[in-house]
Every structure is written in structure tokens, then in C-alpha cells.
Amino acid sequence: MIPVTQPFLPPKEEYEKYLDGIWKRNWLTNMGPLASQLEMELKDYLQVKHLLFVTNGTVALQMAIKALGISGEIITTPFSFVATTSCIVWEGCTPVFVDIDPKSLCIDPKKIEEAITENTSAILATHVYGNPCNVEAIEAIAKKHDLKVIYDAAHAFGVEVKGKSVFEYGDISTCSLHATKLYHSVEGGLLITKDPELLKKLASIRNFGISGFDSFSELGINGKNSEFHAAMGLANLKYVEEIHQKRKAIAQLYDRMLEGLRAVRPVWHKDSFENYAYHAIVLDSEELLLKLKAEMDKFEVFTRRYFYPSLSSALPYLPKLELPVTEDISRRVLCLPMYFDLTFEEVEFIARLMLRIQNN
């Protein structure tokens, strides 16, 4: 069997060294020394000013909306994981979907301005598959209309735009450290902001809004993470470059082997480099996608229709909306197996299988 993804695990003994310290200290959660160490090391690695380690990427989005005091309408993308939208609804706001760019697959800035009303408070955009949005255009729109900007950067670990971390754009960026991501802490998330006052507020929200032994400063949530998750994050961090290089080699092999496939790859941001979080292809028809997926399943080569269906038409708690580009792309996009332990022989097998299925 070849799964669509598989978590990277460091050598077991390296993780166990961190466990020895946890046992000695008997400090298991509530942002202990390993969680604090991970925050510092990630801040240095990513070259960002302020960073918080939290429970997961979904809680990170909820905290971002709460910390910025956002209400009313939030303009967002329907081409994303469900959490991007569900967090907006969960926080009592109204998601306003706009269409995506057919090449980058990220939110189309031209559509954002058309959707702004007197009730619009913010933009929540996703760096799809780690591919940066048009951050400069979004920033200009936000400044013009006095809007907050949150980036769902769940897939964008290590991505830069013009030599600067993509996490440094917007008021707040969030990231997922879920086990399926290229860098993970089993479960976890990140909040990144340039504003020290906002960081302070987020840190308070993360710990129930507690400001002292017997006082509270604001409404909070339990957004803390454990020492066990931090230990995995620390153990994995030293392997990020190795993971990135292996994924890059896999992606390049896919591209070479699949030149004859009737498909295109998303166009990456011109001032950025791919982090190879996913290997997505957009096939020339849904019919071809369904044929490939069905036949590959028989060989236990598993792919994922990510993101399908479009959130603009799939969620029972929101009215359906027709967005032609998103609907079209979501029907034709397929993510191929991509993970550190995937062998080049397996990649060659997958590519040959796909071409044979297409041509039969």
C-alpha cells in the first residue's frame, strides 16, 4: 500500500531523551520548558519576531479572530480545509466567499474588493498547498478599507516571500503542526504576529484569559500544548532541511515522469520557493480524475481530492454559492502521495501507473 501521506518520525532514541527530562521534571503540560524551548527555536528557524505554540491550527484560527476583535463579515476562500470557514462561523462571524485565481489556486484579490461591504471586518486567506497568496495586493486592499488580515498558513511552514517568512504578512498568521504536515509536533499549531501587544493578548487568550492567581483580563480558551508534543517538535526540527530536500526530489521526479499526463501544476508565487508540502495536480477533466483515482485505488495507491468539494457548496450550515473557478478546480484537483519515506521507485511506479490508466 502507498498512502497519500505518512508522518515523519525521528529516531526513537532522540525522542526518548526528551521524555527522560519530562519524567524527571514531572511537568507534562501548561506550556512547560520544552514548549518554551520549541517556541524559541522555531522563532529563530523561521526568523519571525513573535510566535506562540498552541493546541492545533484550528484553535490558532479561532484565537486570531478573537484577539483581533473581529465581528461581522470576513472575506475568505472556499478552496481550503473546512476549518478555515468553520472557525469564522464558530466565532460568530459571517464568511463571505470569493473565487480563486485559476493558476495559483489562492484567493483572487480582484474578487476581494468587489465583495467588501460596510459589514466587512477582515480578510482570511489561505496559502493553498503552501503557495503564498498575493500578499502585497491583499495588504493594499486591507489598508484602503481598514480591514484586518489573517492568513491560514497551515501548509506554509518554511515558505518565504522576497526572502521574508510568509508568516510575517498580515496581522496574524496561523500554521498547523499536525502529523500530516511536512514538519509536525503530532498535534500543534502556531500563531505569528509582528505586534508585541497582540502577542501579549494572544498569550493571555491561550491560558483562559488568566492574568494572575485570582484575576482574569479577558475571555480566553485552553490553547496550550503539552511537553510531549513539544518534544516531538524539537526532535523533528533538526530534520526539516533533510525532509524538504527529499520532498523536492520526489516532486521533481513526479514532474519529469508525468510530462505526458493531461494535467497542470499550480503556478507558484514568483517571489517564493516551493516547500513541497503537497504535490497537487489539476487534471484536464473530472472524468480523467475519477478514472485515475478508481484504478489507482485498486493497486492500493491512494490519492486525495484536496480540496473537494468546494466549501461554498458543501457546508450544511451555510447557503450554497456558485463560484465557477473554485467549483471547476475542486472537481479536477488531485494530491498525489508525498512524504519523506516515499521511495523513488514508488514514485516511478505511481507515474507509470497513472500514464497507463490515462492512455487505456
Average pLDDT, the chain: 97
Is pLDDT above 90 for 283?
yes
**Model pLDDT for residues 299-319, shown as the tens digit of each residue:** 999 999 999 999 999 999 999
**Model pLDDT for residues 265-276, shown as the tens digit of each residue:** 999 999 999 999
Q: What is the pTM of this model?
A: 0.96
Structural domains counted in the chain: 2
Residue 208 placed within a domain: yes
Residue 212's pLDDT band, with cuts at 50, 70 and 90, is confident
How far is 129 from 266, CA to CA, in rounded Å?
9
DSSP annotation of 133 reads: P
Q: Which domain holds residue 270?
A: 240-359
Residue 111's pLDDT band, with cuts at 50, 70 and 90, is very high
The per-residue pLDDT for 213 is: 85
The per-residue pLDDT for 113 is: 94
What is the arithmetic mean of pLDDT over 320-347?
A: 98
Residue 136 placed within a domain: yes
Residues 224 and 297 reside in one and the same domain: no
Percent over 90 (pLDDT), the chain = 99
Residue 1 placed within a domain: no
**Model pLDDT for residues 8-45, shown as the tens digit of each residue:** 999 999 999 999 999 999 999 999 999 999 999 999 99
What is the arithmetic mean of pLDDT over 131-135?
A: 98
Dihedral angle of Cα 299, 301, 307, 310, to the nearest 10 degrees: 0
What is the arithmetic mean of pLDDT over 345-360?
A: 97
Residue 113 placed within a domain: yes
Q: Residue 334 belongs to a domain with what CATH number?
A: 3.90.1150.10
Which of 91, 108, 90, 88 lies closest to 100, judged by CA? 108
